[in-house]
Amino acid sequence: MVRIFDTTLRDGEQAPGFSMNTAEKLQLARRLESLGVDVIEAGFPIASQGDFEAVREVARDIKHSTVAGLARARREDIDAALGALERAARPRVHVFLATSDLHLKHKLRISRTEALESIGKMVEYAKGHCPEVEFSAEDASRSDVEFLGQAFSVAADAGATILNAPDTVGYATPEEYGGMFRALRSKVSGRPGVIWSAHCHNDLGLAVANSLAAVKAGARQVECTINGIGERAGNAAMEEIAVALAVRPDRYETGTRLRLNELYATSRLLSEITGVSVPPNKAVVGANAFAHEAGIHQDGILKNPLTYQVISPEAVGVPAHRLVLGKHSGRNALRARLAELGVIISEDELRECYRQVMALADAKKEITDEDIKRLAGRPSANASISDVAV
The confidence band for 380, taking pLDDT boundaries of 50, 70 and 90, is very low
Q: Give the tens place of pLDDT for each residue, 233-289.
A: 999 999 999 999 999 999 999 999 999 999 999 999 999 999 999 999 999 999 889
**pTM to 2 decimals?**
0.88
Give the type of residue at 104. L
Q: Give the tens place of pLDDT for each residue, 9-29.
A: 999 999 998 999 999 999 999
The confidence band for 324, taking pLDDT boundaries of 50, 70 and 90, is confident
Residues of the chain with CATH 3.20.20.70: 3-274
* Pick from 8, 80, 90: nearest CA to 44: 80
Give the type of residue at 229. I
Least confident interval from 34-38, 40-44, 370-374, 377-381: 377-381
Q: Give the tens place of pLDDT for each residue, 74-117.
A: 999 999 999 999 999 999 999 999 999 999 999 999 999 999 99
Report which of residues 298 and 81 the model is more confident about: 81
Question: Could you give the angle at which helices 49-61 and 22-35 cross, rounded to 10 degrees?
Answer: 40
CATH of 3-274, picked from 3.40.640.10, 3.90.1150.10, 3.20.20.70, 3.90.1150.50, is 3.20.20.70
CA distances (Å), 343 to each of 35, 231, 261, 336, in order?
A: 40, 49, 32, 10
Cβ count within 10 A of residue 338: 21
Q: Could you give the CA distance from residue 22 to residue 316 in angstroms, rounded to a whole number?
A: 28
Q: Give the tens place of pLDDT for each residue, 278-296.
A: 999 999 999 889 887 777 7
| Model confidence at 1: pLDDT above 50 | yes
The confidence band for 184, taking pLDDT boundaries of 50, 70 and 90, is very high
Q: Could you give the CA distance from residue 4 to residue 242 in angstroms, rounded to a whole number?
A: 9
Residue 345 has what pLDDT?
85
Residue 292 has what pLDDT?
77
253: left (phi over 0), alpha (psi -120 to 50) or beta: left
